Amino acid sequence: MRFIFSFLFLITSLWAEPDSYSDTPDMAEQKVLYISYEEVPQQIFQGEIFAIHLKILSTVTSFDDITYQFENAEGLTLLTPEPVREVKLPYYYDTFYFIADRTRIRTPDITGSVKFSEFYQAYPTQLQGQKIDVISLNSNRRFVKILSDNFSILQAKTTYYDRHSNIAVFTASAERCNLETFKLTDAIKQGFESIETSFDTSTMTYYAVIPSEIETLKFSYFNLQKKRFVDVIIPIIIDDDSVSTQSDLKPIEHKHTLIKITAAGAVAFVGLILLLIYRRVFYLLLVIIPGLYIAYVSVPIQYACIKEGSPIYLLPMQHGTVFETTTSEYNLEVQGSVKSFIKVKLHNNNIGWIKNEDLCTP
């Protein structure tokens, strides 16, 4: 009888053993990924680009990458979905850049996972977000919505736009700055000719049509290092040799002014009187030369036929700013030309540039 009981106990133990083993993996998954904050700013300005630095340790060494998910963020925008990484084994230091959009900021809950292949990742670990104090700026009227460690003008040129305004074009560089928010307060028209943004250093080429009475283009930005507003001054010096940052945009202008014609006519009249009195060849030249000049500048104004739907550019640049589009086929007064563009006067007396390919076919 004892033998029978021992045999039954052995069978029961063997039958139950697989179930006990199968429960072991589900009890507690071993922690593999350790994520902590290396640095988080305690106070920032609204509109500032700031960084969150993470320190990561993985107990497994054979993996493809560490991936992240962001949830429950408030009042900010992520600028770098992929981290800027520095490896100092056994640690990984990952940095993410954000911009503060509002005055209430909460950084996202960050979930990191170990990626073993394109189709498999595991061991998620979550790092709770934090609240950050945000300071709102009391800006002045000249503030151009720029916060930066440093903002500098690299190049600037100004040229005549029309009778009442000039056009200034300048290239600027900024560190830790969102240049896309740049906007002048005194410009009639303005915009980006080009812009390259980065969380580190950004550059832009900007144009502004400003009233002709403005002698200096003055604006201010907020310097994040000095924690104060800094003025930027661009002298308005009319440059007849160029209309933008390019050096080969000198237009061929028609010189047609009443003062010059009147002066030439006066010289010709005096020369004619002297010729009649003294009858010398020299005085004949005083009549012929001014006469030829008057005939030259009095040539009828040239017009060009522009196709319907043609873009009118602010500057003669292939990827320049289009500020108007023709709604029908009509003629415009030609003011000059450069390379593949002609300079025209619009019906509202503004100046624009048309590509040669947009002219009506004869």
Q: Give the DSSP H/E element, type plus range, for residue 12.
A: helix 2-22
The pLDDT of residue 220 = 97
Overall CATH class of domain 303-358: mainly beta
Orientation of helix 258-278 relative to helix 281-297, angle to 10° = 160
- Exposure string over 69-107, b if 16+ CB within 10 A, otherwise e: eeeebebbeebeeebeeeeeeeebbbbbbbbbeeeebeb
Which pLDDT does position 5 carry in this prediction? 43
pTM of the model: 0.65
Q: What is the radius of gyration, based on Cα positions, of the chain?
A: 36
Distance CA 265, CA 294 (A): 7
**Nearest alpha carbon to residue 312 among 350, 274, 268, 255:** 350
- Class assignment of domain 33-135? mainly beta
Residue 242: per-residue pLDDT: 38
Is-contact 163 349, C-beta < 8 A?
Answer: yes
Phi/psi at 48 (5° precision):
-85, 145
Q: Where are the domains of the chain?
A: 33-135, 143-235, 258-297, 303-358
Residue 160, Cβ density class (10 Å: 0-12 exposed, 13-18 middle, ≥19 buried): middle
What pLDDT does 226 receive?
95
First to last CA, the chain: 119
User: For residue range 26-79, what is the model confidence (pLDDT) as tens digits?
Assistant: 334 578 999 999 999 999 999 999 999 999 999 998 999 999 999 999 999 999
pLDDT at residue 321, rounded to an integer: 72
- CA dihedral sign of residues 354, 318, 249, 173: positive
pLDDT at 257: 56
In this chain, the answer to whether the domains covering 33-135 and 303-358 adopt an identical fold is no
Q: What is the pLDDT of residues 275-287, one digit of tens each?
A: 777 777 777 777 7
Instruction: Quote the pLDDT of residue 254.
Output: 43
* Close Cβ partners of 340 (under 8 Å, ≥ 6 residues apart): 316, 355, 356, 357
Tell me 298's DSSP state.
T
pLDDT at 28: 44
How many whole angstroms separate alpha carbon 47 and alpha carbon 130? 18
The pLDDT value given to residue 35: 96
Q: Can you give the pLDDT at residue 240?
A: 53
Low-confidence ranges of the chain (pLDDT < 50): 1-28, 241-256
